[in-house]
Amino acid sequence: MIDGDGLNAFVAIAETHSFSRAADRLGLVQSVVSKRLKRLEDQLGAVLVDRAIRTRSTLTRVGELYLPEAKATLAQLEKAERTGRNLARGTTGPLRIGYVFSAAMNGTLGRVLTALNKGVPELIVHPRLLETPEQLIALEAGTLDLGLIRPRPTYPPFCIARDVHQEPLVACMTAHHRLANELAITPPMLAGEHFIIPQFHEHVGLIDNLRRLGVAGGFVISDIERTADFLTAASLSAAGYGIVLAPASLAKLNLDGLVFRQIAQFDDRVLTTFIHRTDAPRQALDHLTASLGPL
């Protein structure tokens, strides 16, 4: 297989018209340059340089035709080397990011993307809206590099996770609800309500917060409707189908007919967790660690 050494020797001879000057340019002795050119010619099965005239090295017809290809190949090799080094440093290439909806609403996703754009602008980011279980599967399979998820008791191997954001939970309801005019409500006031939970496939997470809300109010929550996402849940709530226990940042949706009420005497917080594979680009992780900081 042709290597860069032979191509470099050939191009240097072609541009300097001299074996000795080519050796000086490459920092080699002339005999090494001659051997590298001869090896290239043997690999190609053609003479590239006419050695008959000692005072000035000239290219054969094949050499003249091959020179542009040799230069282009060397340029591509240099590019491949730069790309490989940058990939190893984590300064270029794709970065696959998963995030839950509320991470976009509470600004955590924005902080991540801003830090990456400022710190490693050559990275190509690919954000994807995915629920926590889907992200964990993708992280374990290696199809995601990092994610913004809801905390879980355990995480996939080769992953590191830490909480980076917290916010209170609020009750979302239609503006026509009996509690809509209350500035703040208490857990007992929610007894008997129909709740909508935007985590259809999960058995941990917000459902745990909802159960603790029932305990705080002295009632058992049994009337639960599960939906696939927050937007669907909020739309149903605005239409009067039930109450959503949601992160306070959901208020940024500004949906018509939907109001948000604080819940007094209920201190649960919802967390956003930053998780990444241990083989994710290191420089990107360094910038994100500095940007996200401690909780």
Claim to verify: residue 169 and residue 196 sit in the same structural domain: yes
- DSSP annotation of 264: T
Whether 36 and 53 map to the same domain: the answer is yes
Q: How far is CA 287 from the centre of its chain?
A: 13
Round to whole Å and give the CA distance between 12 and 19: 8
User: How far is residue 205 from each of residues 24, 132, 161, 162, 239, measured CA to CA in Å?
Assistant: 68, 10, 16, 16, 25
171/131 same-domain check: yes
Pick the last residue of a domain from 31, 65, 89.
Answer: 89
Q: How far apart are the first and last CA of the chain?
A: 54
> Does 81 share its domain with 95?
no
Q: Which residue range forms the structural domain that includes residue 23? A: 4-89
Q: Give the separation between CA 242 and CA 257, rounded to whole angstroms.
A: 13
Identity of the residue numbered 243: I
Tell whether 78 and 105 lie within a shared domain. no
Same domain, 78 and 213: no
Tokens (6 digits) for 5: 């050494």
**How many domains would you assign to the chain?**
2
Task: Return per-residue pLDDT of the chain as tens, 295 residues.
Answer: 888 898 989 999 999 998 989 889 888 999 998 999 999 989 999 999 988 877 788 899 998 999 999 999 888 888 787 667 656 655 557 899 999 999 999 999 999 999 999 988 888 899 999 989 999 999 999 999 999 999 999 999 999 999 999 999 999 999 999 999 988 899 999 999 999 998 656 667 788 899 999 999 999 988 888 888 888 999 999 999 999 999 999 989 888 999 999 999 999 999 999 999 998 888 889 889 888 877 6
Give dist(CA 82, CA 94) in Å, integer. Answer: 15
The closest alpha carbon to 213, from 269, 268, 135, belongs to 268
Q: Are residues 64 and 21 in the same domain?
A: yes
Q: What pTM was computed for the model?
A: 0.68
Same domain, yes or no: 242 and 231: yes
The CATH number of whichever domain residue 64 belongs to comes to 1.10.10.10
Report the CATH number that the domain containing residue 134 is assigned in CATH.
3.40.190.290
| Collapsed DSSP state (helix, strand, coil) of residue 126 | strand
Given this model, what pLDDT does residue 74 score? Answer: 86
- Mark whether 151 and 266 lie in a shared domain: yes
